[in-house]
Amino acid sequence: MLQDNTIPWRDYSLTGRDSGPSFAPKQWYSTPVPRKRMKELMKRRDAPALIDYGIWLGFVLATGALVILTWGTWWAVPSVILYGVFYGSCADSRWHECCHGTVFKTPWLNTAAYQLASFMSLKNPYLWRWSHTRHHTDTVIVGKDPEIAFPRPPHPLNILWNMLHLQSGWNELKKMFWLSAGRLTKDQKTFLIEADRSKAFLASRVHLAILAMTFALAMVLQSWLPIVLIGGPTFYGSWLHHLLASLQHAGLAEDVPDHRLNSRTVYMNWFFRFVYSNMNYHVEHHMYPMVPFYNLPALHEEIKVDCPPAYAGTMTAFREMLPAILIQRRDPFYFVDRKPLLPKDANPSPEYTRPTAIAAE
């Protein structure tokens, strides 16, 4: 669908001309769910979380041992690939879940898992918590959301590099250096509160110290193995998570207060759902961020009659998303409009318009 192309294209920075007012929380649409049912869905349980995290860490340790045992042989190649996915991709999705604090019933388990997964994905736990808070307040609102992965018009190399985590991995490393030095960018200052800044600096210093020790060990041993095991997997193993996560919002509408129109729910196979912590139910996650990942399939059943149909599979979603962002290279006003796909009995999407006049000052 084409938008009005008489207006100049958008400024995605958080301090630029499009960083003006956004929608109020009550303007965002939510599919009504009976309170009793919602309480059941929001309930946290340690058991399913411990099983999931136990299996995950078990795979990390087992494949890590495999890497060590096969190092120096060709068998190390598949071992490293497997280890990278369990370390890099699984940690990225689990960082996100623990950021919401919804995974475990026991708070310290959630905090411990959050710190571990944050290091494994080289994300600063404080910076990203606040960045992600803003992402949920202003989902895909230009000039407000710091986590828009594919600003229009997308650069072809950015598309590829982002989908494989090459660019974003390097960006995280740069952030770590700057935060370790106690420096924040203008954009970061807009969402990271004063009280958490010193904690963010300390976390980055700890992450950097661990990476430095790993590098030193590699030098002493004259072997890449320590780097392949610690730190490295974030770069070479996060690709699967980023590939799946690229489907969350790319190519869909911007500046709409309705997650049914700016997010995708995609049916995925069990392995992808395990790696991705059920974030394929992304409309559901954004509409009700308090629901733990293990209850998202049930939430999907509750609200699907009010949403555009979920994508039948990962490839189906890519077949829509990839051409859309390629078209956006030529025509940044293009997007996939999901509004006509709302079921006929669904509640209509809110008609609010963002107050761009003030934003354009």
Q: Is 354 in the site for another protein (CB under 8 A)?
A: no
Considering the complex, what minimum distance in angstroms separates the CB of residue 256 from another protein? 17
Whether the Cβ atoms of residue 76 and residue 84 lie closer than 8 Å to each other: no
Considering the complex, what minimum distance in angstroms separates the CB of residue 99 from another protein? 9
Q: Is 108 in the site for another protein (CB under 8 A)?
A: no
- Tell me if the bond preceding 153 is cis, omega within 30° of 0: yes
For residues 17 and 136, which CB has a smaller minimum distance to another protein in the complex?
136
Whether the Cβ atoms of residue 9 and residue 334 lie closer than 8 Å to each other: no
Q: Helices 46-70 and 76-84 sit at what angle, rounded to 10 degrees?
A: 150
HSE-up of 207 (CA within 13 Å, CB side)? 30
Q: At a CB cut-off of 8 Å and minimum separation 6, what does 217 contact?
A: 226
Q: Is 24 in the site for another protein (CB under 8 A)?
A: yes
For residues 50 and 290, which CB has a smaller minimum distance to another protein in the complex?
290
Q: Hey, which residues between 67 and 106 contact another protein (CB under 8 A)?
A: 100-102
For residues 4 and 194, which CB has a smaller minimum distance to another protein in the complex?
194
Distance CA 292, CA 170 (A): 30
Q: Is 196 in the site for another protein (CB under 8 A)?
A: yes
Considering the complex, what minimum distance in angstroms separates the CB of residue 230 from another protein? 28
- Which helix (H) or strand (E) segment holds residue 198: the answer is helix 194-221
Considering the complex, what minimum distance in angstroms separates the CB of residue 351 from another protein? 21
Q: At a CB cut-off of 8 Å and minimum separation 6, what does 111 contact?
A: 98
For residues 94 and 242, which CB has a smaller minimum distance to another protein in the complex?
94
Distance CA 18, CA 187 (A): 13
Considering the complex, what minimum distance in angstroms separates the CB of residue 340 from another protein? 28
Which residue among 16, 20, 59, 136 contacts another protein (CB under 8 A)? 136
# residues contacting another protein (CB under 8 A): 23
Q: Is 25 in the site for another protein (CB under 8 A)?
A: yes
Which residue among 70, 115, 137, 347 contacts another protein (CB under 8 A)? 137
Whether the Cβ atoms of residue 218 and residue 232 lie closer than 8 Å to each other: no
